Structures are given as structure tokens and as C-alpha cells.
Amino acid sequence: MKKFIIIIIIVAIAIAGFIMLSSDEQPVNDSADMEQQIPRNDTADKIISDLDEIDTADIEAELDSEFNAIDAELLNL
């Protein structure tokens, strides 16, 4: 069941990414809005630095092993 939920989440993210990439709307670059940007606070900087420190190789390896296990189960059907 856990693997099924992980697959659903990955598929949903992929679909959302495809929709975002396929939209032909261009964001409006208003210079008035650019002057009034809200400065980032320390919490946002800490979250960004924490995200930069995450080792994606471990996550990729875990996902690869999960997908390999799913593939093996599908081949046994």
C-alpha cells in the first residue's frame, strides 16, 4: 500500500509538471511589482539552505529500489 501511495504521488507531480510546462501563458513582468518585492526572512533562508543540504542520491537510490521491487512484483503476475 505504501508503494502504491508513493507511485500515485510521483505520477501526480509528473502530471502537474507537464501541465505547467505545456501552458503557453507567459508571466507578466511588471516593473512596479519588482520594486516592491518582499524581502526574504531568516526562516526562508534556513529552509532553502536545509533543502540544499539534502543528499538526493540517497532518495534516488531508495526510489530505484522501490521501483525495482514493484517491477519484480509486476513480472510475477
Residue 2 confidence class, pLDDT cut points 50, 70, 90? confident
Alpha-carbon distance of 72 to 25, in angstroms, equals 42
The grid coordinates of residue 22 equal 505545456
pTM passes above 0.85: no
Beta carbons within 8 Å of 70's beta carbon, 6+ residues apart: 3, 7
Question: 3-state DSSP: the chain helix, strand, coil percent, rounded to 5?
Answer: 75, 0, 25
CA 61, distance to chain mean position in Å, is 16
The model's pLDDT over 11-69, given as tens digits with 9 standing for 90+, comes to 899 888 888 777 666 555 555 555 566 665 677 777 777 777 777 777 888 889 999 99
